[in-house]
Structure 1
Amino acid sequence: MIQDVPPPAPSAVLPEVVVTAARLPPAAGDAAFAVVRLGAEDLEGAERLDEVLGRVPAVSLFRRTSSLSANPTTQGLSLRAVAPSGAGRALVLLDGVPMNDPFGGWVLWSQLAPEAVSSADVVRGAGAGPYGAGALTGVVALRERDGGGGRLDFSTRDDEGYRLSAAGTLTSGRFSLTTSALSDQSAGYAPVRSAAAGTADTRLDFVARGAAVRLDVAADADTRLSLRAGAYDEDRGSGLAATRSAASGHVLSAVASRSPRPGAPGWRAQVWRRESDFANSSAAVDAGRAFTTPASRQYATPAEGWGGNLAVRGENDVAAGVWEWEAGADARLSTGETQEQFRYMNGVFTRDRKAGGEASVVGAYLESSWRDAVWLVAGGVRLDQWENTDSHRLETDLATGLATLDETYADRRDQVASGRLAVRRSLSGGYALRAAAYTGFRPATLNELHRPFRVGNDLTEANAGLAPERLSGLEAGAAWSGRLAGGRTDAVLTLFRNRVEDVIVNVTLGEGPGIIPALPQAGFVPAGGVLRQRQNAGRIEATGVEASVSWTTDRLDLRLAASATDAEVDGGAAAPQLTGLRPAQAPVWSVTGGLDWRASRRASIALDVRYESRRFDDDLNSRVLDAAAVVDARIDWRVSRGVVAYAGVANLLDAEVEVSATATGVKGWAAPATALIGLRLDW
């Protein structure tokens, strides 16, 4: 059940050694902020993590498609519809290790199966404190599974696809080994349909693989060591002839921790390293959509990310309450380069581009909270230094080897101070009130700084001079928990006001055909296309409300949640044409609902509904994507102990969900109704 996070109970002394992953327990101060916890029951039956997270309103990928069909460059997660981005404006962590790609900031969701995750905390609002850079609109903190036993899940879909996933843990004495693996593939669907489609329109087919292994060692009842290795690989069609994308990578991490006890602080020390690569081909399509012409071939994007963090946490009895504190430091470094061919002429690519650099963020923080029976006060401060170095862009003529563009950019660095403060007051009758203020920042990714890209006939140029985005916000909320009509009821209401300064958006500079004078180095823009450039275009003001209610009995779970965000761009002097418009891909309304009915000892039925109001596909709000609602249904049948057969339909009503729109009015669509059947084994 999706639930608001209550203050944790006081730590209990463990009577025996229980082997789990090395991590600190959730901080007591979390309950003062807008945290939604997705537990094991929410992950039950999920095929993709991003789809589960989508049950929280205004939590979505950049576009309306899920990772089933989305290009990796649009799989960045955004919260609250303040300012969605392909790179994502939320930080995604797995037990403290960033899941975000070191070059692009997006998240390859196929690298981790839901069966391998025990819970996910969605922290809405700038996550300063222990999270730091990248947590502009919030944080998704994933916890990998612990404990014994395992799960094997196999399903097949009517899109000529199948999914096989397994996760399990073996424990022996003070040692525990957790493994997980995922294989998923599909023939996909054609995103352009009906009369608009031509022979150039192809399917969004994909193949994805992922695996991970983690060794946990318990030195004693409080001290743990965890060593983890994971790898992933995927290949996708992009919906047009001669266009595909591929992504691969691996991650290594080591963490040691000691749980805090009364009178004895705990600590965590972690190091990690991530490598990734990405390939992507794009093409221009003719007006009749009969054929495509190659536009670029990004044949490699080698990138590395590495970092570490150190935290010390303790608690003391102070002023008739409990004071918890945490001090820490962290560092994240990334380096990467796009390597691609472009300028297709007379049947061959004529130019080569290598562009990239290095980026780093190093910071230190102090978090603290005080609580008694009714009050919880929490806050923290951070100081970070970000740096961009070795920034370069070299374009050469493939025939002669001579440079046609050779640019290097000065190193840049600056310091950013951020913080957060919140208070929560528990009232009688199960009521609680809270308020919070926070600031945060997100440096531009290497992809935003250095890589131009093309989608169809639309070109988007990079900008090596991008400054970090900064967010400041206020919010207030109320919650109630109790019994109503024979069931447990939880209701939460939150009002928020956010401002994003120096927001990075794709600003339209001109339309084709021709070379746009404002940025001639971008080259020729074809007819029906536009030229955009990433810019720090003023600010975004967003005011919103979030509400959720859940009702649970022994047989039935009901949930309903909604988010409304009034977001407006002020382009300032940099982009006055954007002033008064909505950010691209940001709907006003997002509503989710669900029903889980345990109809009998063997049978259960689940329905999930998601609605979004209209959104715009571009910064000028000229390409409208209509409102859409999708219903998913599933039936589970318990065959025997530990064996469950199931059947379901995604997009049960075959709703037409608009995902993209071109300047000529051609729409791209999300997946049609897709049926599946499967079998799950638990032990």
Structure 2
Amino acid sequence: MKIFILPAILLSVPTAALAQAPDDAPGDSSQIIVTGAGLDLPPGTPAYGSVVIDRQRLLDSASGRIESVLGDVAGFQQFRRSDSRSSNPSNQGATLRALGGNASSRTLMLLDGVPIADPFFGYIPFSALAPERLSVVRVTRGGGIGAFGAGAVAGTIELASATRAQLPDFSASAFYGSRDSTEVSAGLTQDLGGGYVSLSGRWDRGDGFQTTPGDQRVAATVPAAYDGWSTNLRAVAPIAATSELQFRATLFEDNRTLRFAGADSMSQGQDASIRYINRGAWQVDALAYIQARNFSNIVISSSTFRKSLDQRNTPSTGIGGKIEIRPPVGPDHVLRLGVDTRFATGDMYEDAYNANIATNPRTFLRHAGGDQWTSGIFAEDDWTPEGLGGRLVLTGGARADRWSIRNGFYKEVNATTSAVSKDFGYADRSAWEISGRVGALYRASDAIALRAAAYSGFRLPTLNELYRPFVVFPVTTRANEALKPEKLKGAEAGIDLTPAKGVTLSATAFYNRLDDAIANVTISADGNTRQRQNVNRVVAKGIELTASAHVDDFSVSASYAYSHSIVHAPGALFDGLSPAQTPRHAASGTIAWAPAHGPSLSTTLRYTFKQYEDDLHKDVLPAAITCDAIARLPIGHGVSLVARGENLFDERVVTRQVTTNGIPSTDLGTPRTLWIGVSFGG
């Protein structure tokens, strides 16, 4: 019996090409092929357009953080312009196509097929996603379907773990950076019983930079210090000639301090998943996962600098799974049939304090929470009509989801008298949602491919949006237990060009309409009180351009997105305005020189247009241009000297701006940050 370890190419193919299916590999049925990947992409995948980030680009990030690399895809954004060192974790939702407006993810983010958003908040634990553990990232903008498709109203971001061929037996790196920052990582991978086991860990910390401008600092102002670690165990074991088991477990903790001394946040998680892949005649992709997460956060008054709120405990649990089957229906069709389910439960425990009294007494104890359940069935078929030489592919599918929101409650108790001041139990809700998509891909020639797609989808409000109010002084944002699901309808058309070997160009025009969009709506005259509400709709239309070229040792890639996004809310003051935190223009470009042997250099330039802090456009966040770079110098025996630079021109990036009674409160993004370090085996 022969044993092969092959690299996964599940997601790394260009939009107009296909990965070779394992079933097409030469050999007999006794050969065991261990890839550690999922099933191959269906032939209709390019009809929906996507951007692929390969492993080398993931490793060549000046910040060493996955959210920075995702910025290569113009139109990708978080609620704030900060990364996972200087942003509150609950702000780190992921969205695309200017469909933002609050901090929850409108984009479905998957790691090896498993949803990774926090079960309570919906944010992405970016600090736990070390780029060196990944093989490739595929970003598909637009509504999604298939497994876990509920929630993919702005698109899907698929991350695949690095394969055995990409993982050396041992790798390590150590960096020292500005403001006493350190980053250390290591990985050990060993073959075992025809498969392999990989264990990796990462720890980074830093004294942080001042997010507060100099003229706004006070005695209590401190830099945005951070300290986080994560560890990941992944094992892949063959079962038969065409099937394997994949197991992954991740532990992480992330501690940050923002703006004022004592304003500390903590997020942690313990995730595990198991996946069964069968690449035989009846292909199967089945997985189950569990997430145990927690979050805490202390709010400090900006007038007295005493504790005003202690969100001391927010435990949540996510459990889910899917089964997808691809029956053998002939060479012209790839049929996908499946079911999936997701359950989320969470609680918020917080204590309010009187920050105006020197003793800083506790005033109220609050407890809120609830459950969510979404279960769906889906079917999708990709048809390559016979007789056209594979030039035309038609694809279409549908989902039916049953969702429920249950056991919602909010309780407030006087900390002094123990008297119950508020005790609300919210009615259970449930309904069916039907969504679908269709697409077509026509390869007019080797150099030209035309595509078009239309889709629909929905997203449930998170437990955070339903039940947890929050404060970012001086603004208080209230929860809303009556929020309805968001519903998307969209269409797009595009062209992919390959005018010469190594050169690709792509253009996409899109129209997306998000009905009942959830936004943070200003409800007080002074602008300091907001509430999460469904607005009539958000309409986003625009153009996305991507380009790449590889000539000898040089490569160039670029991405640009124009998103004209407007809120439709008849009678409201923000009717006709763009959603909060959504830029109209975004662009990114990277130039790299990477010979097969010797030193390498990569430089990335990013531009983000101005955007507004709030729904009423009272405060503007100016446009910003940043430049990053990374250089590698091999010094022998697998060791390289590495220099990295973030925001090399020290651009002033405003991430938050709130003006109260003419007095601004401003937060800034990462200033110039320099790193020096060594890597081995990477």
With normalisation by structure 1, the TM-score equals 0.93
Q: Does 1:334 align with 2:348?
A: no
The CA deviation at 1:474 is 0.5
Alignment of 1:488-567 (within 5 A): 488-511=502-525, 530-567=528-565
Match of 2:176? 156
What secondary structure sits across from 2:417 in the alignment? coil
AA aligned opposite 1:130: A
Partner SS for 1:73:
helix
Q: Deviations over 1:364-397 (max 9, x none)?
A: 0001101252011111100001110000000001
Give the CA deviation at 1:84. 4.6
Q: Is the 8 A contact 1:22 1:224 kept in 2?
A: no
User: Could you tell me whether the CA contact under 8 Å between 1:281 and 1:298 is conserved in 2?
Assistant: yes
Q: Distance in 2 between matches of 1:155 and 1:45?
A: 14
Aligned-partner SS, 1:502: strand
What is the count of residue pairs matched by the alignment? 652
2:349 aligned partner, one-letter code = Q
Structure 1 unpaired stretches of 5+: 513-528
Aligned to 1:520: none
| 1:135 and 1:442 in contact (8 A); partners too | yes
Maintained 8 Å contact 1:562/1:590? yes
Post-superposition offset of 1:43: 1.0
Secondary structure in 1 aligned to 2:366?
strand
- 8 Å contact 1:78–1:85 — kept in the other structure? no
Partner of 1:100: 117
Preserved contact between residue 224 and residue 259 of structure 2 (Cα < 8 Å): yes
- Residue identity over aligned pairs, in percent, reads 30
CA gap of 1:90–1:279, structure 2 versus 1, over 3 A, is: same
The whole-number CA distance in structure 2 between the counterparts of 1:168 and 1:316 is 42
Q: Which residue of 2 aligns with 1:658?
A: 654
CA distance in 1, matches of 2:456, 2:48: 13
Contact (CA 8 Å) 1:7, 1:29: kept in 2 or not? no
Aligned partners of 1:200 and 1:557: how far apart in 2? Answer: 47
- Correspondent of 1:188 among 208, 212, 234: 208
Bigger shift: residues 96-105 or 215-224: 215-224
C-alpha separation in 1, matches of 2:428 and 2:17: 45
SS in 2 for 1:79: coil
Structure 1 Cα separation of the partners of residues 312 and 625 of structure 2: 37
Work out whether residues 82 and 565 of structure 1, in 8 Å CA contact, stay in contact via their aligned partners in 2: no
- 2:127 matches 1:110: yes
Q: What are the Cα deviations for residues 75-97 of structure 1, in whole angstroms up to 9, with x where unaligned?
A: 11111222253111111111111
1:621 matches 2:609: no
- What is the CA distance between 1:323 and its match in structure 2? 0.6
| Change beyond 3 A, Cα 1:285–1:2 | farther
CA contact (8 A) 2:243 2:277 kept: yes
Partner of 1:523: none
Amino acid at match of 2:350: E
1:622 partner amino acid: K
- CA–CA distance in structure 1, aligned partners of residues 263 and 278 of structure 2: 49
Distance 1:3 1:200, change over 3 A: farther
User: For residue 677 of structure 1, what is the amino acid of its counterpart?
Assistant: I
Q: Distance in 1 between matches of 2:262 and 2:361?
A: 14
Unaligned runs of 5+ in 2: 1-11
Q: 3-state SS of the aligned residue for 1:28?
A: coil
* 1:234-633 correspondence runs (5 A): 234-260=254-280, 264-286=281-303, 291-317=304-330, 322-344=332-354, 346=357, 347-371=360-384, 372-483=389-500, 488-511=502-525, 530-572=528-570, 576-598=572-594, 601-633=597-629
Over the aligned positions, Cα root-mean-square deviation in angstroms equals 1.7
Displacement of 1:152 after TM fit?
1.5
Distance 1:599 1:221, change over 3 A: closer
- For 1:229 and 1:428, how far apart are their aligned partners in 2? 45
Alpha-carbon separation, structure 2, partners of 1:114 and 1:138: 21
Quick one: which amino acid aligns to residue 365 of structure 1?
Answer: F
Once residues 313 and 336 of structure 1 are traced to their aligned partners in structure 2, the CA distance between those partners, rounded to angstroms, is 35
Q: Letter of the aligned partner of 1:6 in structure 2?
A: A
1:609-629 Cα offsets, whole Å, 9 max, x none, are 110110001111111011100
What letter corresponds to residue 54 of structure 2 in structure 1?
G
Structure 1 position 30 matched with structure 2 position 45: yes
2:97 touches 2:540 (CA, 8 Å); kept in 1? Answer: no
How far apart, CA to CA, are the structure 2 residues paired with 1:266 and 1:164?
40
Please tell me whether the aligned partners of residues 339 and 355 of structure 1 are also in contact (alpha carbons under 8 angstroms). yes
Distance 1:14 1:225 in 2: 22
Between the aligned partners of 1:312 and 1:226, the Cα distance in structure 2 is 17
Residue 32 of structure 1 deviates from its aligned partner by: 1.1
Cα deviation for residue 342 of structure 1 reads 1.1
| Corresponding residue number in structure 2 for 1:13 | 25
Alpha-carbon distance, 1:252 to partner: 1.4
CA distance in 2, matches of 1:308, 1:598: 41
Which residue does the alignment assign to 1:49?
66
Report the 3-state secondary structure (helix = DSSP H, G, I; strand = E; otherwise coil) of the residue aligned with 1:296.
strand
Contact kept, 8 Å, 2:101 with 2:518, in 1: the verdict is no
Whether contact under 8 Å (1:537, 1:572) holds in the other structure is no
2:672 is equivalent to residue 673 of structure 1: yes
Deviation at 1:334, TM superposition (A): 0.5
CA distance in 2, matches of 1:216, 1:399: 55
Alpha-carbon contact 2:16-2:449 (below 8 Å) kept:
no
Q: Any idea what the Cα deviations from partners look like across 1:332-368, whole Å, max 9, x if unmatched?
A: 0010011001142531121010001001101000011
CA pair 545-364 structure 1, distance change in 2 beyond 3 A: same
Q: Is the 8 A contact 1:648 1:676 kept in 2?
A: yes
Distance in structure 2 (CA, Å) of the matches to 1:253 and 1:456: 39
How far is the alpha carbon of 1:482 from its aligned partner? 3.6
Q: Which residue of 2 aligns with 1:640?
A: 636
Q: State the one-letter code of the partner of 2:559.
A: A
Q: Measure, in 2, the Cα distance between the counterparts of 1:39 and 1:147.
A: 16
Letter in 1 for 2:570: G
8 A contact 1:49–1:114 mirrored in 2: yes
CA drift at 1:194: 2.2
Q: What residue identity is the alignment partner of 2:344?
A: S
Pick the aligned partner of 2:143 from 109, 118, 126. Answer: 126
Residue by residue over 1:217-254, the C-alpha shift from the partner in whole angstroms, topping out at 9 and shown as x without a partner, is 10122111122211100110011232110011101111
Name the CA distance, whole Å, in 1 between partners of 2:542 and 2:621.
21
Query: Deviation of residue 25 (structure 1)?
Result: 2.1
The CA deviation at 1:14 is: 5.4
| Partner SS, residue 219 of structure 1 | strand
Once the two structures are TM-superposed, the CA of residue 599 in structure 1 deviates from its matched residue by 6.7
Paired residue secondary structure (1:538): strand
| Equivalent position SS for 1:537 | strand
Distance 2:133 2:98 in 1: 28
Whole-angstrom distance in 2 between the partners of 1:84 and 1:56: 19
